[in-house]
Structure formats: C-alpha cells, structure tokens
C-alpha cells in the first residue's frame, strides 16, 4: 500500500476499530495519538507526564507536544500509515502538511452524535494492543480478555459521562473545522459510521479503491 490515510471523526465514531481492521488486511502502520499518549503515561515518560492531566480530563494535549510526537513517529517509518486522532486542530493540520510525507486521503467517519455516549460508556480496551471492544455490541470471544493477546480488558478513564461531554465539546469546537480544511483540498471522503462495523469497513475499502486498486 502506498497511500497515507487520516481517520477523522468524533470520539467513539470507530476510528480505532476501523484502523485495526485495515492494518490486519494491509501493510500499513497505525499511528493512534491517543494510544501513543496512553503508553507514554504508562511508561512515565516526560511527554506522558506532560499529557496526563489533559487526556484524563478529556482535553486536548497542547499542539506543540503532540506535533513533535507525531513528526517523530512519521519520520521513523518508511511504511505508509493511518493517522487515527491526528490532526485534531487546524494548527496540527498545517503542521502535518509541512512534514515530508504527503496525505493522500482523509476518511471522515460521520455519525449521529447521540449514538456516541452509548458506544463510549460501554467500551472496553486492551491496555496492551489498544484494541476496542464493547460490553454489548462488540464483545470479545472470551469475557473480558483481548482476542489478540489475552490481556484483561479495562475501561478508559476518559470514558466517564462527564469526560465524554468535555471531549464532545472539544471535538465540535476544535476538530470539526478540519472537515472544511480537507474538503477544500479535495481529499476528504465521508463514510456513514452509523452502520454495523463490517459495513463501515466495506465502505472504507470502496473509497480507498477509488484511489488505489490494491485495496
Ligand atoms: P483518542 O484515543 O484518539 O480518543 P477519541 O478521538 O476521543 O476517539 P476514541 O478512541 O474515543 O474513539 P474511536 O473513534 O477510536 O472509536 P472506537 O473504535 O474505539 O484520544 C484520547 C485523548 O488523547 C484526547 O481526548 C486528547 O486528550 C488526547 N489526544 C489524542 N490525539 C490528540 C491530538 N491530535 N491532539 C491533542 N490531544 C490528543 O469505538 C468506540 C466504541 O464503539 C467501542 O466500544 C467499539 O467497540 C464501538 N464501535 C465501533 N464501531 C462500531 C459500530 N460500527 N457499531 C457499534 N459499535 C461500534
Ligand atoms: Mg480510538
């Protein structure tokens, strides 16, 4: 695969779920800024310590920190990548455009906002590989264990109702303007993310096939 992809969408729209599917079928690197920060916090790195209060309270980590982190990750790989959760502000979008790896396509996972609270409050994640599950709609094969590496699943601290509210507000105020930003560049494709996960995935592949026969 020789296309660099952005997944754009509100918290809980399925960015992580769809990225996991795509990397298991194609040779792409998954760069989830949320997962990268959560790992940095676990490892108590300087970036992790700087970011901890922001992420736990549902607020965006300052642009400067996150831009440096992503730049480092992108420049460290020769493979094509999926950016999941980056950019999230216009400042980040502009900084990304300066990095010497062009973005080929932005996939916007559009979803009715009232569906998101249920998706997020029922979410379970694997602390090791980052894979998402749902207590009701996407259960693991064995209760509470990751299908991938059998780690015990956990809830994310920012999936509590008051934090979800802050994340939604942050999304609407700071991230939504990126839709116009990429629409103007004519690389934005809209996917109906209200559908069943496999149908969302099929639609994503259809769109990718428009720009690359290999998908
Ligand atoms: P991040 O980890 O990126 O969180 P998010 O954007 O809020 O998105 P989520 O991971 O919550 O949702 P998702 O779209 O991946 O959905 P998922 O597939 O899991 O960021 C967390 C924090 O890190 C931010 O708040 C900020 O503090 C910081 N941060 C990260 N990037 C940053 C940046 N660029 N700048 C500054 N700060 C940054 O699915 C959700 C649930 O729904 C799961 O339970 C899943 O099983 C279920 N589900 C998925 N698809 C379907 C479906 N089709 N039908 C039914 N259920 C489904
Ligand atoms: Mg995610």
Q: What is the CA radius of gyration of the chain?
A: 16
Q: Would you tell me how many other CB atoms lie within 10 Å of the CB of residue 76?
A: 8
Tens-digit pLDDT profile for the chain (215 aa)? 789 999 999 999 999 999 999 999 999 999 999 999 999 999 999 999 999 999 999 999 999 999 999 999 999 999 999 999 999 999 999 999 999 889 999 999 999 999 999 999 999 999 998 899 999 999 999 999 999 999 999 999 999 999 999 999 999 999 999 999 999 999 999 999 999 999 999 999 999 999 888 88
Return the DSSP state at 172.
Answer: I
Best residue among 35, 48, 67, 85 to mutate for probing ligand 1, ranked by most atoms within 8 Å of CB: 85
Alpha helix (H) residue ranges in 43-160: 46-56, 63-75, 90-98, 116-121
- Considering every ligand atom shown, identify the ligand nearest to the alpha carbon of residue 35 and give its number: 1
Q: Please, are residues 83 and 3 in contact by the beta-carbon 8 Å criterion?
A: no
Q: In angstroms, what CA-CA distances link 179 with 8, 173, 174, 189?
A: 8, 12, 11, 10
Q: Is 201 in the pocket of ligand 1 (CB under 6 A)?
A: no
Q: Angle at Cα 185 formed by Cα 182 and Cα 187, nearest 5°?
A: 70
Structure tokens at 12: 């809980």
Q: How far apart are the first and last CA of the chain?
A: 8
Using the mean position of ligand 1's atoms as its centre, give its distance from the Cα of residue 111 in Å. 13
Question: The pTM is what?
Answer: 0.96
């Amino acid at each position: 695969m020789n296309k660099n992809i952005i997944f754009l969408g509100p918290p809980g729209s399925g960015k992580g779920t769809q990225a996991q599917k795509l990397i298991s079928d194609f040779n792409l690197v998954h760069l989830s800024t949320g997962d990268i920060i959560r790992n940095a916090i676990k490892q108590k790195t300087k970036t992790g310590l700087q970011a901890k209060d922001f992420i736990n309270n549902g607020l965006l980590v300052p642009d400067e920190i996150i831009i440096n982190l992503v730049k480092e990750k992108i420049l460290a790989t020769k493979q094509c990548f999926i950016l999941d959760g980056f950019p999230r502000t216009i400042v980040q979008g502009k900084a990304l455009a300066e990095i010497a790896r062009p973005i080929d396509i932005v996939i916007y996972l559009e979803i009715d906002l009232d569906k998101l609270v249920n998706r997020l409050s029922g979410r379970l994640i694997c602390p090791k590989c980052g894979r998402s599950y749902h207590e009701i709609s996407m259960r693991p094969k064995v209760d509470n264990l990751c299908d991938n590496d059998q780690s015990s699943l956990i809830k994310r601290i920012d999936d509590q109702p008051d934090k979800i509210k802050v994340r939604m507000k942050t999304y609407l105020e700071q991230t939504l303007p990126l839709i116009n930003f990429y629409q103007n560049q004519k690389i934005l494709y809209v996917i109906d993310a209200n559908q069943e996960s496999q149908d969302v995935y099929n639609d994503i592949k259809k769109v990718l096939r428009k720009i690359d026969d290999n998908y």
